[in-house]
Amino acid sequence: MCVCQTMEVGKCSKSAVCDRGRGVLLEPFIHQVGGHSSMMRYDDHTVCKPLISREQRFYESLPPEMKEFTPEYKGVVSVCFEGDSDGYINLVAYPYVESEVVDPDDPREWEYPRRKHSRRSTHRTNSTEQKEAPVADSAESVPEMKSPMLELLMQSEVPFQMLDAHSGGSAERISYNPWSLRCHKQQLSRMRSESKDRKLYKFLLLENVVHHFKVPCVLDLKMGTRQHGDDASEEKAARQMQKCEQSTSATLGVRVCGMQVFQVDTGHYLCLNKYYGRGLSAEGFQQALYQYLHNGLHLRQDLFEPILSKLQRLTSVLESQASYRFYSSSLLIIYDGRKRLRTPADSPVPEPPPKVDVRMIDFAHSTYKGFHDDPTVHDGPDKGYVLGLRSLVSVLELMRDKNQ
């Protein structure tokens, strides 16, 4: 049954796009550690997320010097919400057909009351955000998500463990990142409820920035001292300002939005979510960074220099971008959790530096002079974002010097 066109069985003949022979079944992106919009795995090197026109235009107009620090933009696909004869729900991507896709600027499209989506990911999306509450997500909240098919798609070779105030302190090991599953369930639930009057959705294709890493350790940081866009309502702006004032965003220009870090001693990922990050003090933020760089046995001191080098380079790039503002944007820091063990034969040979990556994501509220006919024009670089980068550099340098 194809429910992207109709809820009736056998009524999808009007759309040639809903043809399973040409579609790509999207899977949950299990390395998504933060955000509220769901990321989907398209293939090994590509993920996709619901399209927002501002973000698409921003990717298409990125200055060359920023492309090193952003995911590669790969185009657009049409996504169909489909169900099979057993009642399982799938998202299937097809070649983009403009006439059959809902308008991404329709205000109904991506306004979730406290819901967004996710999958196996490292990326996230910015949509029109509604007020969220730190409530635990349960399997019963979305009955159709109890299917064994979902659990099969969410499997990971490395188990996950969620430890924070909103997980009930559970030490249970599971085969998927719990935040990714939460977002995924909410996205499918929302799309299912809309299936009677929606056809196809438009999704962005982006580089999967963790595909180079066998065991990706991911830190998702909300950057800047301001999170609301220039077009935000007074109510939304007030909510976002309150979140900033009550977290390290106001003082440091950065707060933890999510994390997964591989623990060598136990063989699982330790996960923290955005509610944990919002409650951190400046000292707690430093402890969270320490946790991210600690593999359960020791602090990964080999990561300091490559991460600092990339952060300093990004700071230099953003300081040269006059009028740019990256409101509600985030920064991903990624490294591989499984370090190669050296043998005696290797000892005379210098070990190569570990691979790390630093990427900016989520540009649905970004702006610059002349972009999208935006009426508000800002002067100089984004000082709030730069403050966040400098705070990160300062904390990491202090940690490095203290633990040498």
**Token pair for 127:** 């949509």
The Cα 57–Cα 68 span in angstroms is 18
**Token pair for 18:** 């809903």
Q: Binning pLDDT at 50, 70 and 90, where does residue 279 land? A: very high
The Cα 270–Cα 292 span in angstroms is 9
Burial 240-254 (b: 16+ CB within 10 A, else e): bbebbeebbbebbbb
Q: Binning pLDDT at 50, 70 and 90, where does residue 175 land? A: low
- pLDDT above 70: residue 343: no
The Cα 105–Cα 116 span in angstroms is 17
Q: Binning pLDDT at 50, 70 and 90, where does residue 81 land? A: confident
Q: Give the pLDDT of residue 190.
A: 75
Q: Give the pLDDT of residue 87.
A: 66
225 contacts: CB under 8 Å, gap ≥ 6:
244, 249, 250, 253, 383, 384, 387, 388
Q: Which of 74-78, 180-184, 299-303, 315-319 has the lowest mean pLDDT?
A: 180-184
- The percent of residues above 70 in pLDDT, for the chain, comes to 71
- Give the tens place of pLDDT for each residue, 250-271: 999 999 999 999 999 989 999 9
Q: Is the CB of residue 11 less than 8 Å from the CB of residue 83?
A: no
- pLDDT above 90: residue 106: no
Q: Centre a 10 Å sphere on the Cβ of residue 52 and count the other Cβ atoms it contains.
A: 24
Q: Give the pLDDT of residue 204.
A: 96
Q: Centre a 10 Å sphere on the Cβ of residue 275 and count the other Cβ atoms it contains.
A: 19
CA 127 from chain centre, in angstroms, equals 12
Q: What is the mean pLDDT of residues 2-11?
A: 31
Residue 230 half-sphere exposure toward CB, CA atoms < 13 A? 17
Mean pLDDT of the chain: 79
Q: Give the pLDDT of residue 173.
A: 65
The Cα 182–Cα 137 span in angstroms is 6
Q: Give the pLDDT of residue 179.
A: 84
Q: Give the pLDDT of residue 356.
A: 97
Q: Give the pLDDT of residue 52.
A: 93
Q: Give the pLDDT of residue 185.
A: 81
- Both ends of the chain: CA-CA distance in Å? 61
The Cα 105–Cα 107 span in angstroms is 6
The Cα 1–Cα 82 span in angstroms is 7
Q: Is the CB of residue 395 less than 8 Å from the CB of residue 335?
A: no
Q: Which of 64-73, 158-167, 222-231 has the lowest mean pLDDT?
A: 158-167
Q: Binning pLDDT at 50, 70 and 90, where does residue 284 land? A: very high
pTM: 0.81
Q: Which of 6-10, 93-97, 309-313, 326-330 has the lowest mean pLDDT?
A: 6-10
- pLDDT above 50: residue 223: yes
Scan for tokens 């579609």, then name that residue. Answer: 23
Q: What is the mean pLDDT of residues 355-382?
A: 96
Closest Cα to residue 118, out of 134, 137, 102? 137
Q: Is the CB of residue 317 less than 8 Å from the CB of residue 65?
A: yes
Angle at 400 between CA 396 and CA 404, to 5 degrees: 175
The Cα 195–Cα 88 span in angstroms is 15
Burial 5-26 (b: 16+ CB within 10 A, else e): bbeeeeebeebebbeeeebbeb
3-state secondary structure of 259: strand
Q: Give the pLDDT of residue 229.
A: 95
Torsions phi, psi for 43 (to 5 deg): -155, -170
Scan for tokens 């040409």, then name that residue. Answer: 22
**Token pair for 68:** 């090193």
The Cα 25–Cα 23 span in angstroms is 6
Q: Binning pLDDT at 50, 70 and 90, where does residue 321 land? A: very high
- pLDDT above 70: residue 197: no
Q: Environment class of residue 172 by beta-carbon count within 10 Å: exposed (0-12), middle (13-18) or buried (19+)? A: exposed
- pLDDT above 50: residue 360: yes
Q: Environment class of residue 44 by beta-carbon count within 10 Å: exposed (0-12), middle (13-18) or buried (19+)? A: exposed
Higher per-residue pLDDT: 342 or 297: 297
